[in-house]
Structure 1
Amino acid sequence: MPHCVILYTPNIETRTDVGALCRKLADTMLTIHDEAGKQVFPTGGTRVLAYPAAHYAVADGEEDYAFVYINVRMGAGRSAEVQQKAGDRLMEVVREHFAPLFAQELIGITLQIDESPGQVYDGKHSTLHPLFNK
C-alpha cells in the first residue's frame, strides 16, 4: 500500500534530478521502522512516482516560481509517533535534495502523509510481494 507521489512544476527539471529524488525517498522509506522494529513501508509495496504538471500557476505569476507537492500514503494503524518520524525523515531527504535550489530559486515544497482508514476496496495483484516476503 505505501506510495509516494510527487507532483511538481516542470521548471525544476533542468535544475534537479527528479529520478534521484524518487530513489532517495524510496530508500529512506525502506529504513523506517515502527516501535516493534517492523518495517513501516514494506519493500514490495514501496513505490515513488513523479509527475510534472502539464499546466500550473504558482503564487502571483510575477516570476517563474517552482513548487513540489509530495504525498505519502500509508496503511492505517501506525502510531502518531511513527507517522511523525516518517514525515520528519522524508522531509529531511527532500530538504537535502533541494538545498541547492533553495539557495538560488523561489520554490515551495509541501510533504503530506495520508492514512487510508476508510478503504472500501483494496485490490492487489503483484509478483513483487512474494519476492520480498521470503
Structure 2
Amino acid sequence: MPHLVILYTPNIEAETDMTALCRTLADTMLAQRDGDTGQPVFPTGGTRVLAYPAAHHAVADGQADYAFVYLNLRMASGRAEAVKKKAGDELLAAVRTHFADLFARRHIGITLQIDESPGQVYDGKHSNLHPLFNKG
C-alpha cells in the first residue's frame, strides 16, 4: 500500500492519456515527504496507481455526454493529518492539471477520496518489488 484506483467513464478515453495520468499520480505520491522527518510518505515498492473504465455508467440526468472520474487512495493508518491533507491537495492539483483541457471542453465531475485502513481484518501480501527499492 498505498493504492490509488481510478474509475472513470469510458467516454473520455479518446480525449486523455490515462497511462500518463497514472504515472503523474504515482510520481506525485512518491514525491511526498513527511514535513517533520523528511522521510518518504509512501514506500516506492508499494505505490500503485491503477485506472479502469467503467463498463456501465450513468452520470447526472443523462441528457448529455457527461463524464466522471473517481479516484480513491487507500493507505495504511499512521500518517499525520497534515501529511494526508498535503498528499490529497497535491494529487488533486495534478489531476486538475491533467484534465484542464478536457474540463474546458466538456462537462466532467472529478472526485478524489482518501481512505485509511485503521483496523484491517486481513492484509496479505506477496511481493518482490519492495527489495528493489529498500537497498541501503
* Same fold per superposition (TM over 0.5): yes
**1:46-125 alignment to 2 at 5 Å?**
46-125=47-126
**Per-residue deviation at 1:118?**
1.2
**Using the alignment, how far apart are the partners of 2:3 and 2:99 within structure 1?**
21
Runs of 5+ consecutive residues of structure 2 not aligned to the other structure: none
Q: Alpha-carbon deviation of 1:38? A: 1.4
Kindly provide the CA deviation profile for residues 45-91 of structure 1, in whole angstroms up to 9, marking residues without a partner as x.
00000000000000000001000000011110111100100000000
> Which amino acid is the alignment partner of residue 55 of structure 1?
H
The residue number in structure 1 matching 2:31 is 31
What is the distance in 1 between the residues matched to 2:6 and 2:40? 22
Counterpart of 1:8, as a letter, is Y
Q: Distance in 2 between matches of 1:118 and 1:9?
A: 32
Aligned to 2:133: 132
- The amino acid across from 1:120 in the alignment is V
TM-score by length of 2: 0.97
| 118-127 vs 62-71, which moves further | 118-127
State, as a whole percentage, how many aligned pairs show the same letter. Answer: 74
* Equivalent position of 2:22 in the other structure: 22
1:39 Cα deviation after fit: 0.9
| Two-structure CA RMSD over aligned residues (Å) | 0.6
Is there any run of 5+ residues in structure 1 with no aligned partner, and where?
Answer: none
Q: TM-score, normalised by structure 1?
A: 0.98
Q: Hey, what's the Cα distance between the residues in 1 that align with 2:130 and 2:6?
A: 23
- Aligned residue identity for 1:17: D
